[in-house]
Chains A and B, each alone.
Chain A
Amino acid sequence: MSTRLATGGRLLNRDRATNFTFNGKQMRGFEGDTLASALLASDQMLMGRSFKYHRPRGVVASGAEEPNGLVNLGKGGGFEPNARVTTTELFDGLSAESQNHWPSLDFDVGVVNNLAARFMPAGFYYKTFIQPRAAWKHVFEPFIRKAAGLGKAPKDRDADTYEHFYSFADVLVIGGGIAGLQAAKAAGEAGAKVLLVEQTATLGGRAPVDGAEIEGQPADIWIAETTLALEKMENVTLRTRMMGAGVYDHGYALCYERLTDHAPLAEGPRHRLWRVRAKQIITATGAIERPLSFAGNDIPGVMLASAVRDYVVNYAVSPGDRTVIVTNNDDAYRTAIVLKEAGLDVPVIVDARPDGGGELAARAAALGIRIEKGKGIAKVKGGKRVEGVALCAQAGEGAVLEEIACDAVAMSGGWSPVVHLWSHCGGKLIWDETQSHFRPDAEKAPTGHDGQPFVSVVGIANGSMETGACLENADATGKSVAKLVGGKAKRTAAPKASDVDEAPMLAVWKMPQGAGEKLRAKMWLDFQNDVKVSDVMLAAQEGFESVEHTKRYTTLGMATDQGKLSNINGLAILADSLNEHIPQVGTTTFRPPYQPISMGAIAGETRGEIFQPIDKTPIHEWHEANGAFFEPVGHWRRPYCFQMSGETVEDAVAREVKATRDSLGLLDASTLGKLIVKGPDAGKFLDMLYTNMMSTLKVGKCRYGLMCTENGFLTDDGVVARLDEDTWLCHTTTGGADRIHAHMEEWLQTEWWDWKVYVANVTQQFAQIGVVGPNARKVLEKLGGMDVSKEGLGFMEWADGKIGEFDARVFRISFSGELSYEIAVLASQGLAFWNALLEAGEEFGVTPYGTEALHIMRAEKGFIMIGDETDGTVIPQDLGLGWAISKKKEDYLGKRAQQRSHMTDPMRWKLVGLETVDGSVLPDGAYAVGDGKNENGQRNMIGRVTSTYHSPTLNRGIAMGLIELGPDRMGEVLTFPKTDGTEVKAKIVSPIFYDPEGEKQNV
């Protein structure tokens, strides 16, 4: 069994016991434990079930690379699936549940898959669930969904908060092991502004566990001194619990800081995503030990040798009384020595190398440990827990020489540098034959805007396997990188470290070398996704030669650990099967993030009330307080209508229309875009932008104008007023203000850069209120001030003056067909003016109305609406707006496009009014059908509805639509099928349903 040792544990605080639960069972650990070490200390080796076969799984690693130890963490709003036990710091009250089993971790029905495993080889899903087609949706997919999947999806809203932080550094050092510390120190001493990030809670990395000595002292002492020195430097920032997640173009990097995962009761954000701009990046990301592929290497109790060492030294956890070591290199001997020194038994070190190891091997032998050279493990015995190993000759086929009882197996297949961050932005790798690993190719670093490298790599991440070399390389790189960013490196020597002589490692991709099919089918490569040596070999046999294809076919490396343990082993097997060299096969692509980061951190502050900016007019608060039913228009929220108590939306809209037509309505039109266009060439400019002539507009007058894209399609409309000789005020649609401003600037800056025109967006300078209805003039006259009489301010005129005590610009324009004024006052006085109108209008039954009443009234008048009658494919000529297209002008944007044959085709659908025969309301977007069917067997369509409403004024359904040859077919009745299978008939009529002569607006 695994248990806590009586003494030791360099990261533990034994004075602080910590209580937690696993699958509801109370357990205890210490402050400083990870969830993994605390579970092991409580003899909980079994932590989960694998993805495909539901095999029992125990922890195999001690850090970010862990594939097996994944749990559901927390409850309710703090729930998180797939939390990695090795990177979860223990805290009081932690509650974890294992994943992917039913009904329980110990007894999983799904494990029956085990027997069927040979029927579930690589590509199983693709091969099995193809036929019959219909079965996928109803039989196969629901079954697979139930069997697959690791953690549960959270059900509650996340109770935590998250944020971003923009940070800038000369040098970003990713990784706080000894190499990262030394690089940061060297760069910092040279004057560079340094940010060093370390993903764990502790600086120093694994040097202390590995027994490194620096400057003649244990590594711990050097780390403490160096940390202190760095903390004292003003230009250096150290952050722990912060992972370098991704490296992107131009020195951009994302770092993921976990602030309260280890202390969930603390206030403040849970995670913070740092958006870093660094001139130079140094990756000091260390290396990950590779598993060895032998039969049964996935049985709980088989662990990486380095992990076993970590658990003993850092957490005083014994993985078992008897641990067999199996290795192809010298490093694993350190584990044997550590175990022995902790008083535990190492029955044998199985060294695949015929000649065995170097100095460390001699030390192990001196401690009395039995060493078997040239041997391998034929298989591991046990089910939910290791019970023993069977030894064989590594060179053979797996004939068992001897069985040895044990509780744990510590394996080491060599070390792979963590090259992810180097590779994210294009850094290339080279294959190191002596170490059998890929390491960064310094000649092919990621390059920045100037073509120069902006990422360097130090330490074991660079393939330096010795402490001394790591420190030397880190020191030199820190200095040279600092120089690149303008620093001045001091002439100091790198710290010295003593290293032991190590014998060369031996590449071992299968154990034993000649293992047959039966053994290969039990050699796990990817523990989480259940990919075995046999699967990769099958894929190669079936023609998957590309490593990227093999990955997707077998799912190797596609689990939440992204193949940190399986990658190199898998592609080595693939290369072997293809009879190629490993570098020819290459690696799969390394993509950010290095480890999964929370969705909350990505969203940052973007949630709840500040999920999205909402534009509010100066009168918005009044709307909120007076029953406004809002609709989004651009980023604005505009009242759709104002509901009185007990009123439905439809009732409210009908009331607003009637009140406006009968007496007096008020509209908050502040959202309309207002662009000032000024300069000697402004008239010429507007003539190009609008289809009609704006240069001839007289000062004091208004004109309705249309704007098209260069492809001729209608893009915006609005009323233009000429303010003075060289100044125009262009109104745009609500959603068009910023877009049309940008459109104008683009033409002025890129095409007509020599025209003397300035544009200013003054949309928000004014609150604009529509005063509409037969009593509009009366209410303005009651407030007093400027002349708003028929003679004093004619239709389509504007004037500056006073309304009551308010400075106002009054436009006499109408979008409703009624007598109407649009009045602009300063935004800061908008609400006061609105209130003044409400007060003065009381005797006329003044009624604020919303956008739906506005839409109905304009539809009753046959006025088009951008976005209803237009959809990016409609030209003004389609809408009967030929009158607004100047024939005199030589050119305007869209003119040439509108002369293309398709644009002048008489069969284009054109705007008409539609009146249902039964008075009902046509469904929005409904199509009119003609005779016959098209080549797809669908009924031929001859038009569609663009706007449709119930008109309270006419008490019947009215609509507008684009119909083939529409204006020539007045009086014809068309058929509109509905989605419920029935049809509705409508007659083609003029789009102007109300006051066709325009008498009401012109009084």
Chain B
Amino acid sequence: MEYFALTNAWLIPLMPAIAFVLIGLFFKRWSALSACIAVFASAVSFILAIFAAIAVIGSGISVDAPFVGHVIWAEAAGLHFEMGMLIDPLSVMMLFVVSLVSLLVQIYSIGYMRGDKSFGRFFAYISLFSASMLGLNISANFLQMYIFWELVGLCSYLLIGFYYQRIAAREAAKKAFITTRIGDFGLLIGILLLQTVFGTVDFLELRQLLPSYIASYGTGTLTIIGILLFIGPIGKSGQFPLHVWLPDAMEGPAPVSALIHAATMVVAGVYLVARAYFLFASVPALLEFIAWLGAFTAFFGASIAISQREIKRILAYSTISQLGYMMLALGVGSLTASLFHLFTHAFFKALLFLCAGAVMHAMNDEADIFKMGGLRKKIPIVFITMTIGVLAISGVPPFAGFFSKDEILSAALSVNTPIYIIAVITAFMTAFYMARLLFVVFFGEKTNMRLHHISCFMQIPLVLLAVLSLVSGLGGYIYDFGYWIRFGAPQPEHMDISIAVLSAVLPLLAFILAWNIYVRKKWSADCIAARMGVLYTISFHKYYIDEFYAVLCRFFIDGIGRVMYFIDIYIIGGIINVISGLVLFSSTLLGKIQTGQTQRYAAAFLCGVIILLLCGILYFNKISGITAGGGVL
């Protein structure tokens, strides 16, 4: 069975794809049936993924010696398009995370989406997403990855715009697609350059070709390729400056935010960098760029999250910040730390989003946290699980986030101190705004609203994810995550005591601060905001980046478009019209000759005959003059 799962890993993405086709084509109308199909397919995928993971652990497959399979998908004049699967601990870890979170989110959605008239459509899209994401995980070459990368983008588009009757949703969907498309543009060029320079886009072949290429040509071209490739992750993983779509993406249903815009799809960028790490690691300047961008994004996201009011927006900016963390870890050279954080983050962020969804569901889709309050007693299960999630993301030991964050911090400290300091400040801010969220929603004055019931379909995934948020960090630490998922030689897990203490104390400080501000009201939040003045305004308005882009877009897209259209109509079209006008004009001139009076025609005819006769006679004269020396006339 394990062996079967390993060699037929392509079945893992295929299962949800089948579910998509079945639901989309036939069973969209029957809600219960479509949910059953989707969940069943996900469950099969998950089981296969577990078996594949067991097989990988059992059979000694490592990142250096992965299991691969190829088929030729298409070929055009010597250009091969391959579909393959690359199974190593990295991809198996992703398969496990994605299929698990996807399964749990689908179960949750049964409760969350109940009664929606597009229930079947939702499950079709979610299944398509799972299929694409799982396909992305087993990709063996850049092109295949790009294909699934685009498909997850499509699913994201469809699911953000799921409530297509809402203007905000459709605008957010469009924004997400176009913004990530800009990233894909870079990625596609990078892939095309790889194809041109190396003649292949296969990960393993590239890994073998790269050292000799660097030896003979240096890293100039590779830097360009690396930067271009990295533009893709910037778009997809919400790094500055292409992060703008991610907060808006919260227009989709909460399970979608949990699955796609927190746990799985947005980490595709991190996964891509990890997959192509051999390329990025060979250019130190590139890594440094990634590290700084990640650090900046981490800080930047946190600084916005701190002032937002909508529950899902806070979480969205927190996602941006955490993704920045992962990029930072990749940049400082620790693939292990980054993916460990990806692993734990998937669970606790999905948990947080699902909790947020549950809260909103209970509160009749109210999103502003300051209109909530005192929910602790009314929905205790959500309160408990959310608390676990908050503790996990803040990095309180022994929750999952503590271990992964600690590893990132120690990796950062060993390479680059300024980045380390930024990371520590971000960690503090993260703990603060998450505590703010928790305290404002669950403590404080009670709302008198009648709350919706939260069904068991929604509760079970919450509990399971809470458990995972609790144990995944410790489990990863004990079972030596770094032995399996690494770049280069395995690094033994170690814990730097000073960093550990610092990262344990900081969140506690942040919690106390938040407690004093938001629960005991020792210091007024408004007062602080007022004193911060400009800083608060900028943060609240997200650094005015959206406005900036809107102006840019109006000027460079619509403005230039109008100018071009003007040129098309009045210059290119104008030249054509002038030419056709000339023809018309000359024809009217010539038309004047046609008086319609036959006698004039006859006169003209006569003149013509006379002239021709004269010409003929003169000509004849000339010829006979030459030949005979005499004239007729």
Is the A/B pair a real complex? Answer: no
Residues of B bordering A, CB below 8 Å: none
Residues of A bordering B, CB below 8 Å: none
